Amino acid sequence: MTRLTMNKDDIVDELRYLRKGEGFTPMRYLDLIHLPELLGGKDRDFHLVKAFFIEAIQTLPAKQLQESLLVAFGLAKGYDCFDTVRDRRAVYGQRVGRKYDTLQHWEDMALEQLAGILLKSRQSW
Protein backbone atom coordinates (compact mmCIF):
# COMPACT_ATOMS: atom_id res chain seq x y z
CA MET A 1 0.00 0.00 0.00
CA THR A 2 1.41 3.40 -0.96
CA ARG A 3 1.51 5.80 1.96
CA LEU A 4 -0.27 9.07 1.36
CA THR A 5 0.96 12.37 2.70
CA MET A 6 -1.57 13.44 5.26
CA ASN A 7 -1.83 15.50 8.39
CA LYS A 8 -4.23 15.75 11.31
CA ASP A 9 -6.37 18.36 9.53
CA ASP A 10 -6.92 15.95 6.61
CA ILE A 11 -8.18 13.30 9.01
CA VAL A 12 -10.38 15.70 10.98
CA ASP A 13 -11.96 16.93 7.72
CA GLU A 14 -12.78 13.38 6.65
CA LEU A 15 -14.13 12.51 10.10
CA ARG A 16 -16.41 15.56 9.94
CA TYR A 17 -17.65 14.43 6.54
CA LEU A 18 -18.17 10.90 7.78
CA ARG A 19 -20.40 11.88 10.72
CA LYS A 20 -22.86 13.69 8.45
CA GLY A 21 -25.78 12.10 6.66
CA GLU A 22 -26.17 8.43 7.46
CA GLY A 23 -22.86 8.41 9.30
CA PHE A 24 -20.25 5.67 9.16
CA THR A 25 -21.48 3.50 6.29
CA PRO A 26 -19.60 1.49 3.64
CA MET A 27 -20.55 3.88 0.84
CA ARG A 28 -19.48 6.99 2.74
CA TYR A 29 -16.27 5.29 3.86
CA LEU A 30 -15.36 4.53 0.24
CA ASP A 31 -15.68 8.25 -0.59
CA LEU A 32 -12.70 9.05 1.64
CA ILE A 33 -9.04 9.38 0.68
CA HIS A 34 -6.94 9.44 3.87
CA LEU A 35 -8.94 7.72 6.59
CA PRO A 36 -9.09 4.34 4.80
CA GLU A 37 -5.30 4.15 4.88
CA LEU A 38 -5.42 4.50 8.67
CA LEU A 39 -8.14 1.86 8.97
CA GLY A 40 -6.60 -0.83 6.78
CA GLY A 41 -7.59 0.23 3.27
CA LYS A 42 -10.70 0.31 1.14
CA ASP A 43 -10.38 -3.39 0.31
CA ARG A 44 -10.48 -4.48 3.97
CA ASP A 45 -13.73 -6.07 5.12
CA PHE A 46 -15.97 -3.21 6.30
CA HIS A 47 -16.97 -5.07 9.47
CA LEU A 48 -13.31 -5.17 10.50
CA VAL A 49 -12.85 -1.50 9.60
CA LYS A 50 -15.92 -0.60 11.64
CA ALA A 51 -14.75 -2.66 14.63
CA PHE A 52 -11.30 -1.02 14.56
CA PHE A 53 -12.90 2.43 14.25
CA ILE A 54 -15.16 1.79 17.24
CA GLU A 55 -12.19 0.54 19.26
CA ALA A 56 -10.28 3.72 18.40
CA ILE A 57 -13.23 5.84 19.58
CA GLN A 58 -13.39 3.85 22.79
CA THR A 59 -9.80 4.83 23.60
CA LEU A 60 -10.81 8.47 24.02
CA PRO A 61 -10.25 9.50 27.65
CA ALA A 62 -13.77 10.78 28.44
CA LYS A 63 -16.87 8.59 28.24
CA GLN A 64 -19.02 11.53 27.09
CA LEU A 65 -16.69 12.08 24.13
CA GLN A 66 -16.78 8.39 23.25
CA GLU A 67 -20.55 8.24 23.42
CA SER A 68 -21.10 11.50 21.54
CA LEU A 69 -18.93 10.28 18.65
CA LEU A 70 -20.55 6.86 18.51
CA VAL A 71 -23.92 8.61 18.30
CA ALA A 72 -22.71 11.16 15.73
CA PHE A 73 -21.38 8.42 13.44
CA GLY A 74 -24.57 6.37 13.87
CA LEU A 75 -22.60 3.59 15.57
CA ALA A 76 -24.32 3.67 18.96
CA LYS A 77 -27.16 1.22 19.45
CA GLY A 78 -30.47 2.81 18.52
CA TYR A 79 -28.94 5.66 16.53
CA ASP A 80 -28.19 3.84 13.28
CA CYS A 81 -31.77 4.35 12.09
CA PHE A 82 -31.43 8.14 11.74
CA ASP A 83 -30.48 9.58 8.36
CA THR A 84 -28.82 12.76 9.64
CA VAL A 85 -26.42 13.75 12.37
CA ARG A 86 -28.93 16.46 13.32
CA ASP A 87 -31.56 13.82 14.11
CA ARG A 88 -29.07 11.71 16.05
CA ARG A 89 -28.00 14.76 18.07
CA ALA A 90 -31.60 15.74 18.79
CA VAL A 91 -32.44 12.36 20.30
CA TYR A 92 -29.14 12.06 22.14
CA GLY A 93 -29.42 15.63 23.42
CA GLN A 94 -32.80 14.87 24.95
CA ARG A 95 -31.38 11.77 26.59
CA VAL A 96 -28.38 13.53 28.17
CA GLY A 97 -30.04 16.90 28.71
CA ARG A 98 -27.70 18.87 26.46
CA LYS A 99 -28.28 21.26 23.57
CA TYR A 100 -27.20 20.80 19.97
CA ASP A 101 -24.25 23.20 20.19
CA THR A 102 -22.87 21.46 23.29
CA LEU A 103 -23.02 18.10 21.56
CA GLN A 104 -21.33 19.50 18.48
CA HIS A 105 -18.60 20.97 20.69
CA TRP A 106 -18.04 17.57 22.34
CA GLU A 107 -17.86 15.93 18.92
CA ASP A 108 -15.39 18.49 17.59
CA MET A 109 -13.10 18.00 20.60
CA ALA A 110 -13.36 14.24 20.22
CA LEU A 111 -12.66 14.35 16.47
CA GLU A 112 -9.40 16.19 17.10
CA GLN A 113 -8.36 13.59 19.66
CA LEU A 114 -9.48 10.68 17.48
CA ALA A 115 -7.49 11.99 14.52
CA GLY A 116 -4.38 12.02 16.70
CA ILE A 117 -5.05 8.47 17.90
CA LEU A 118 -5.51 7.21 14.34
CA LEU A 119 -2.36 8.92 13.11
CA LYS A 120 -0.36 7.40 15.97
CA SER A 121 -1.73 3.96 15.14
CA ARG A 122 -0.46 4.44 11.58
CA GLN A 123 3.02 5.20 12.85
CA SER A 124 3.10 1.91 14.74
CA TRP A 125 2.71 -0.14 11.53
Torsion over CA: 119, 117, 84, 41 (sign): positive
Of 80, 77, 69, the closest CA to residue 104 belongs to: 69
Distance CA 102, CA 108 (A): 10
Residue 5, phi-psi category: left (phi > 0), alpha (psi -120 to 50), beta (remainder): beta
The residues of the chain scoring below 50 in pLDDT are 1, 125
pLDDT at residue 4 in the model: 60
Q: Where are the domains of the chain?
A: 8-120
Q: Give burial (CB, 10 Å; 0-12/13-18/19+) of 90.
A: middle
* Kind plus residue range of the DSSP H or E element containing 23: none
pLDDT of residue 77: 95
pLDDT computed for residue 3 by the predictor:
56
